[in-house]
């Protein structure tokens, strides 16, 4: 996906990018490739691929969720900043918090945010399990996002405790959404969520399957969740 295709595809969905925003995406790409030589951020480095599989793919969440209506996002396990930072570039008013367990990635994100002059961005070097138990952040975010971090039963335990009541957990997934959903139903309910919608579509150009799961937080999450680091992965809430 070249820059013209990127711009016009987003414009078709009602997202118009200014020259400044396009500049930010260009700088994002340059820094991603530069830092990727020092620390492992992504296996995708070709420009057209990055624009399609990282930038555009991240922003697809905004085709189904209105980010103009919210203020705070937390992105769990964002790695090189996906999906939250491409969304932040498109919707500059957002306050974005990224939680990642690898300090090198946090350093990259801090430098990136500074270079792109992004305001209201916070980067936390922490495990999602311990972050979710912090009283100052628990159940405080309008939207919590995660992109291909773990299967849904595990992700729900890492993300739903951070979502405020009536807020949304938005999971960006490739294929196998139905399977994951069946295995993750118990976790979603236990943690206070309710599936609102699954949006299935194909990524343009390469035509690969994508699914965006939108889960509404309808009840408070029981205090014991998330459990200790590593536990959600070892014994997910399934049944």
Instruction: Give the burial string for 160-186 (b: 16+ CB within 10 Å, else e).
Output: bbbbbeebbbbbbbeeebeebbebbbe
Q: Which phi and psi (to 5°) does residue 217 adopt?
A: -85, 110
Q: Which residues are annotated as a binding site?
A: 77, 82, 128-129, 147
- According to the model, what pLDDT value does residue 180 have? 84
- According to the model, what pLDDT value does residue 238 have? 86
Q: What distance in Å separates the CA atoms of residue 1 and residue 7, rounded to the nearest whole number?
A: 10
Taking phi over 0 as left and psi of -120 to 50 as alpha, with beta for the rest, 30 belongs to alpha
Q: Which residues are annotated as a binding site for S-adenosyl-L-methionine?
A: 77, 82, 128-129, 147
- According to the model, what pLDDT value does residue 178 have? 81
Superfamily of domain 65-232: Vaccinia Virus protein VP39 (3.40.50.150)
Side-chain-side CA neighbours of 78 within 13 Å: the count stands at 34
Could you state, in order of their start, the residue ranges of all structural domains in the chain?
65-232
Tens digit of pLDDT at every position of the chain (239 positions):
999 999 999 999 999 999 999 999 999 999 999 999 999 999 999 999 999 999 999 999 999 999 999 999 999 998 899 999 999 999 999 999 999 999 999 999 999 999 999 999 999 999 999 999 999 999 999 999 999 768 899 999 999 999 999 999 999 998 777 888 888 999 999 999 999 999 999 999 999 999 999 999 999 999 999 999 999 999 999 86
Q: What distance in Å separates the CA atoms of residue 145 and residue 163, rounded to the nearest whole number?
A: 10
């Amino acid at each position: 996906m070249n820059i013209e295709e990127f711009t016009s595809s987003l414009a078709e969905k009602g997202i118009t990018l200014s020259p400044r925003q396009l500049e930010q995406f260009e700088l994002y790409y340059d820094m991603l490739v530069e830092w990727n030589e020092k620390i492992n951020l992504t296996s995708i480095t070709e420009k057209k691929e990055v624009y399609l599989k990282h930038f555009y793919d991240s922003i697809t969440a905004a085709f189904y969720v209105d980010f103009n209506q919210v203020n705070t996002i937390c992105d769990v396990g964002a790695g090189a900043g996906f999906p939250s930072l491409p969304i932040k570039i498109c919707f500059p008013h957002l306050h974005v918090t990224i939680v990642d367990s690898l300090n090198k990635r946090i350093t990259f994100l801090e430098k990136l945010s500074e270079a792109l002059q992004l305001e209201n961005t916070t980067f936390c070097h922490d495990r999602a399990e311990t972050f979710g138990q912090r009283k100052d952040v628990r159940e405080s975010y309008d939207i919590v996002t995660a992109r291909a971090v773990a299967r849904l039963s595990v992700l729900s335990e890492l993300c739903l405790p951070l979502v405020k009541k009536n807020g949304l957990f938005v999971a960006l997934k490739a294929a196998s959404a139905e399977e994951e959903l069946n295995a993750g139903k118990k976790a979603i309910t236990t943690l206070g969520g309710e599936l609102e919608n699954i949006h299935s579509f194909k990524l343009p150009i390469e035509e690969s399957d994508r699914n965006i799961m939108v889960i509404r937080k309808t009840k408070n999450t029981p205090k014991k969740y998330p459990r200790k680091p590593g536990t959600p992965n070892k014994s997910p809430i399934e049944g």
